[in-house]
């Protein structure tokens, strides 16, 4: 029976889901259901985006989409309502009982915590932030609303919030801004670009600002590739395979700085820097050294294809312990890869080329590539980095990468 067909219905909040451990907010992209439309558990009701991926949001309930409170382009904190679903859960419970009782009244609302269980902490945090802001006489606003207010010269304290818990939304800011500030009376100073690219650049800016706080150094080595085993695979596969093996052989560098001490990592997750239409993405390969080269080649191709198609999941972007960035296809011979905290290492790979080099008492032509290993100086020293690159060279020289080091 659709919600509202008989008896009174109860509205349950549909909240912005927490799609990763680091996610704090999401942007609503599009609604696939309309107000008043019946929905069933598992139906895709809308799409949201983070700085990394777009995700579909499914309804956890049967009922009717009663109220939509977040519109496309609204930035919503994790755990905050984006809509309300009218359900018959309360009426069904009452139909099983002869009459209301204190215990029944307490039991009826039970579905509500279940809906919010995954993101309850985020909602409580948002509520406490709004309460604290009110106590201090400041306006509670989602982060993007504060950014837009600064851009448009809008005083947040003068606005009437329309968001949940008295939170100022982006729409509140833009509706209060003068028309010329919103762009109606003047030309923009620069093209805004696609929304996905803007969010990606903002995310990269935040990560690189955090990287600047890390004491890091880079050591370079020209690797000889004449005897490198490839099995018909690309150089990215070969370097990723050897680098992961070397990290496992030098566990002191497969680690992270906790703020007080070095914490060793059990697994190796190699993030591959991929250039896409929406900006730089870094999907993660789990333990690539455990795959034979041809299998790893397929894994990398599938991951890169999904990154370019925009079909990565948040799991694809999680648990990286290091990064590999290859700019060789652009004929870049060497570059400095910055760390992505909390990772302690990053490998830059330049162009593979035939080079004239000194050989004994004469000269020769060798296939070579310059790589750079960037290291968090709190985790390791220059000699540690040099030894790891030495291991990479020995692995590339070996007929079997798993050879005893």
SS3 179: coil
pLDDT band at 213 (very low <50, low <70, confident <90, very high): very high
| pLDDT score, position 142 | 59
Please state whether the peptide bond connecting residue 342 to the residue before it is cis, i.e. omega within 30 degrees of 0. Answer: yes
364 token code pair: 């020769």
- B/e letters for 316-341, b = 16+ CB within 10 Å, e = fewer, are bbbebbbbbbbbbeeeeebbebbbbb
* Number of continuous H segments (helices) and E segments (strands) in the chain: 10, 19
What are the φ and ψ backbone dihedral angles of 168, each rounded to 5 degrees?
A: -80, 130
Confidence of residue 273 (pLDDT cuts 50, 70, 90): very high
pLDDT at 144: 60
| pLDDT tens, position by position, 294-348 | 999 999 999 999 999 888 888 898 899 999 999 999 999 999 999 999 999 999 9
pLDDT for the residue numbered 321 = 97
pTM attached to this predicted model: 0.62
Structure token pair of residue 79: 């755990």
pLDDT tens readout for residues 339-378: 999 999 999 999 999 999 998 889 999 999 999 999 999 9
Same fold: 10-126 with 202-397: no
Is the model's pLDDT at 275 over the cut of 60?
yes
Q: Does residue 230 register a pLDDT over 80?
A: yes
What is the average pLDDT across 26-43?
91
Q: What is the mean pLDDT of the chain?
A: 80
C-beta separation of 154 from 177 below 8 A: yes
Residues 276-293, mean pLDDT to the nearest whole number: 94
User: Considering only 98-102, 172-176, 336-340, 380-384, which range has the smallest mean pLDDT?
Assistant: 98-102
Q: What is the pLDDT of residue 19?
A: 75
The pLDDT value given to residue 122: 36
Pick the CATH number of 202-397 from 3.30.559.10, 3.40.1030.10, 3.90.1150.180, 2.30.29.30: 3.30.559.10
CA nearest 111: which of 87, 136, 79?
87
Starting at the earlier edge strand, list the strands of the sheet with 54-58.
Answer: 54-58, 44-49, 25-31, 75-77
What pLDDT band is residue 148 in, cutting at 50, 70 and 90?
Answer: confident
**In 268-361, where do the E strands start and end?**
269-272, 274-276, 279-281, 284-286, 322-326, 345-349, 353-359
Distance, CA of 210 to CA of 342 (rounded, Å): 9
**236-257 confidence digits (pLDDT tens):** 999 999 999 999 999 999 999 9
For residues 264 and 10, the model is more confident at 264
**Residue 216 three-state SS:** strand
Q: With respect to CATH, is domain 10-126 assigned 2.40.50.100? A: yes
User: What confidence score (pLDDT) does residue 193 get?
Assistant: 43
pLDDT over 60 at 6, yes or no: no
Write down the domain spans for the chain.
10-126, 202-397
């Amino acid at each position: 029976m659709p919600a509202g067909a008989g008896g009174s219905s109860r509205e349950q909040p549909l909240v912005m889901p927490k799609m990763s451990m680091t996610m704090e907010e999401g942007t609503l992209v599009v609604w696939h259901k309309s107000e008043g439309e019946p929905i069933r558990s598992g139906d895709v009701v809308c799409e949201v985006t983070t700085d990394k991926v777009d995700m579909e949001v499914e309804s956890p309930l049967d009922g009717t989409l009663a109220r939509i409170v977040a519109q496309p382009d609204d930035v919503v904190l994790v755990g905050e309502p984006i809509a309300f679903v009218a359900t018959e859960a309360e009426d069904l419970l009452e139909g099983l009982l002869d009459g209301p009782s204190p215990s029944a009244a307490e039991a009826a609302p039970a579905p509500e915590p279940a809906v919010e269980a995954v993101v309850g902490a985020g909602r409580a945090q948002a509520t406490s932030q709004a309460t604290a802001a009110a106590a201090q006489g400041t306006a509670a606003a989602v982060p993007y609303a504060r950014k837009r207010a600064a851009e448009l010269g809008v005083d947040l304290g003068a606005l009437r919030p329309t968001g949940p818990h008295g939170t100022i939304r982006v729409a509140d800011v833009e509706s209060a801004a003068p028309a010329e500030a919103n762009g109606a009376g003047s030309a923009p100073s620069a093209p805004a670009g696609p929304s996905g690219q803007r969010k990606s650049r903002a995310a990269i800016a935040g990560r690189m600002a955090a990287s600047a706080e890390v004491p890091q150094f880079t050591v370079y080595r020209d690797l000889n590739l004449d005897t490198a085993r490839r099995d018909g695979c690309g150089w990215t596969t070969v370097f990723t395979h050897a680098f992961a093996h070397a990290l496992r052989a030098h566990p002191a560098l497969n680690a992270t700085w906790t703020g007080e001490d070095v914490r060793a990592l059990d697994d190796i997750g190699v993030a591959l820097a991929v250039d896409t239409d929406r900006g730089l993405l870094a999907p993660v390969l789990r333990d690539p050294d455990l795959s034979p080269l041809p299998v790893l080649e397929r894994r990398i191709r599938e991951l890169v294809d999904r990154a370019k198609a925009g079909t990565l999941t948040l799991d694809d972007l999680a648990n990286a312990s290091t990064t590999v960035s290859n700019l060789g296809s652009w004929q870049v011979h060497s570059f400095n890869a910055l760390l992505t905290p909390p990772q302690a290492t990053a490998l830059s790979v330049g162009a593979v080329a035939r080079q004239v080099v000194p050989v004994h008492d004469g000269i020769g032509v060798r296939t070579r590539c310059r790589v750079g290993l960037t290291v968090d100086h709190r985790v390791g020293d220059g000699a540690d980095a040099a030894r790891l690159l030495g291991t990479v060279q020995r692995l590339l020289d070996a007929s079997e990468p798993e050879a005893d080091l």
